[in-house]
Amino acid sequence: MKSLNELEQRLGYTFKNIKLLKRAVTHRSYGAEHNERLEFLGDSVLNCVIGNALFQKEDHFDEGSLSRVRANLVCQNALVEVAEILGISDFLNLGEGEMRSGGGHRPSIMADAVEAVFGAIFMDGSFEQAQAVILRLYEPVLNKLTPSAMSKDAKTLLQEKLQSAHYSLPIYEICRVTGAQHDQTFEVYVKLPALDIEMLGCGKSRRQAEQDAASKALADEKLQGLF
């Protein structure tokens, strides 16, 4: 397991009480001092920070759009994306059973640890410092948000379009992962066999790469001609 100092560098935050960060990356299978209470706190901080960021972004986004996008940004998949950027699996304290079963890469454990880290920063510093870390990690996603993107993500739109035309669901396949664990680049193919469409997407997480591939598939002339 890597030093927590490296995780601090990746977060861009130095703890006054490093025990809080140690607790944030400790799963309940490891011991009594685990991260569940910090996870609860971090979830609240994250929801507030993302809600405020979306509220400040555009005046014309209605409540439904704001709620929908916030839910997408704070869900397990989004948190796993942040966990992959941080390489959180390198720092987790897990019990022997969880380690043997690959718990360090289990989405729920990774997502919970990220929320706990946000809670730990709030406890160690302030809301503003936790906010700064969260916004820096979410900046690539927040910068891409537009009125159209505030409705539904590309994967959802692609799936709905295919279902409405009675085609089979898209198939996503990882073809390559490059870079260090905390700075990986994913390449994913999306395949629509019935339409003879195959697109390659790239991103800093599997989720980002899948969204990129779905966006490219939606722009394909064969698909556009169906609607």
What are the catalytic residues? 43, 115
Whole-angstrom distance, CA of residue 165 vs CA of residue 188: 24
H/E element, 155 = helix 154-164
Contacts (Cβ under 8 Å, ≥6 apart) of 187? 174, 175, 176, 177, 178, 200, 201, 202, 209
Report which of 194, 151, 205, 202 is spatially closest to residue 171, judged by C-alpha positions. 194
Three-state DSSP state, 89: helix
Which structure tokens are listed for 15? 């703890």
For 190, the 3-state DSSP assignment is strand
Q: How many Cβ atoms are within 10 Å of 126's Cβ, its own excluded?
A: 11
Taken in order 225, 65, 58, 13, is the CA torsion positive or negative?
negative
